[in-house]
Amino acid sequence: MTTHLEVALGNRSYRIHIGAGLLGEPQLIRPHLAGNQVLVVSNETVAPLYLESLRGSLADLEVFEHILPDGEAYKTLESLNGIFDTLLRAPCDRQATIVALGGGVVGDMAGFAAACYQRGIAYIQVPTTLLAQVDSSVGGKTAVNHPLGKNMIGAFHQPRCVIADTDVLATLPDRELAAGLAEVIKYGLIRDLEFLAWLESSLDALLARDSAALAHAIEVSCRNKAAVVAADEREAGQRALLNLGHSFGHAIETGMGYGRWLHGEAVAAGMCMAADLSRRMGRIAQSDVDRVTALLTRAGLPVAAPAELNPERLRELMSVDKKVRAGRLHLVLLNHLGDACISDQVPEPLILETLTACRSPA
């Protein structure tokens, strides 16, 4: 069964298709191509697995390919420039469409290339990781990393459609599946208590890759994300709640060196830290913190910052965050499980207490 959801953004609205075997369904992709030229951006791991199936949906078009090296460490301006080289050498015109075939790294870079090339061309997201299917392919945030900060160079640019073929998850390594579950659990924590309870009872099925459970998790996650993005596309308000745990998590990713911790792993540890801080702020009970930690632990995810990063270093890294305003951190906290808020009033000593308490033993 295929599910079709909408991200309602006026004349830039688009659909998210979720289902098995969608890579081989040309009618999903072809109506969204701006012209006859297509650049497929993928990476050296995903392309050998799925590029051929996608090519079947692009028959009779002028198709170019750009294959990136695999990994967060390559989510750089230098790699982005390589995509521009391919577009210019082709040469691709303004009616070309970029198709991003891969996880969040490919999607964020291909989307940013589309946002910049000739001041903006069309692109389509074909996410192949759980994380990309539930989060990064939806909502139009595109970026590359800078050595000093994660996702610091980027643009908002919405795709023409999102095609999430659940069959491709069969080849995803277990560690990557777990990383995707971190973002799934995030939706339960910030705005969907019923979904959180469902995740607690269905986690074993999800880890065993039960296809119905995975399809449900992707659908509910995308419904939540689409609603938030439609209400606040440019993150003037509630979209920031989607960053639960990210201020801590991005600091871990940057501090450890991009790629050592997966994004979802850093977010998992960051969400435990946000829960701990919410308890210190008197918003949630220790039993709620324990519930968050227990679920993430069952998913095989880290629940504390790495020992290598001391609290002072983490705090320093947290200062380079897109939610910093006039030098003040804006942190996502939990009011209750299933209800988040943003605060710029967190006392520094409490942040340092959390950074100290939520650190793995050396």
Q: According to CB under 6 A, which residues from 164 to 223 bind ligand NAD?
A: 168, 171-172, 176, 179
| Under rule CB under 6 A, residue 135 binds ligand NAD | yes
192 binds, among ligand NAD, ligand GLY, none (CB under 5 to 8 A by kind): none
Residue nearest to ligand GLY as judged by C-beta position: 242
Query: What 8-state DSSP symbol labels residue 293?
Result: H
Q: According to CB under 6 A, which residues from 247 to 306 bind ligand NAD?
A: 263-264
Residue whose token pair is 């701006």: 34
Q: According to CB under 6 A, which residues from 53 to 82 bind ligand NAD?
A: 70, 72, 75
* Triad 28, 263, 248: Cα angle to 5°: 135
Contact range with ligand NAD by CB under 6 A, out of 131-139, 196-204, 231-239, 335-343: 131-139
Measured from the CB atom, the residue of 107 and 139 that comes closer to ligand GLY is 139
* CA dist., res. 56 & res. 334, Å (int): 46
243 binds, among ligand NAD, ligand GLY, none (CB under 5 to 8 A by kind): ligand GLY
* CA dist., res. 249 & res. 72, Å (int): 14
| Under rule CB under 6 A, residue 68 binds ligand GLY | no
| Under rule CB under 6 A, residue 151 binds ligand NAD | yes
* CA dist., res. 34 & res. 124, Å (int): 10
Residue 223: which of 182, 195, 265 has the closest Cα?
A: 195
Measured from the CB atom, the residue of 166 and 243 that comes closer to ligand GLY is 243
CB atoms within 10 A of CB 312: 11
Residues with catalytic roles? 119, 141, 183, 225, 235, 239, 243, 246, 250, 263
| Under rule CB under 6 A, residue 37 binds ligand NAD | no
Residues 210, 201: contact at Cβ < 8 Å? no
168 binds, among ligand NAD, ligand GLY, none (CB under 5 to 8 A by kind): ligand NAD
Residue whose token pair is 């951190």: 329
SS3 for 83-137 is: HHHHHHHCCCCCCCEEEEEECHHHHHHHHHHHHHHHHCCEEEEEECCHHHHHHHC
The distance of closest approach from Cβ of residue 94 to ligand GLY in the complex, given in angstroms and rounded to an integer, is 27
Q: Where do contacts with ligand GLY occur on this chain (CB under 6 A)?
A: 135, 139, 141, 239, 242-243
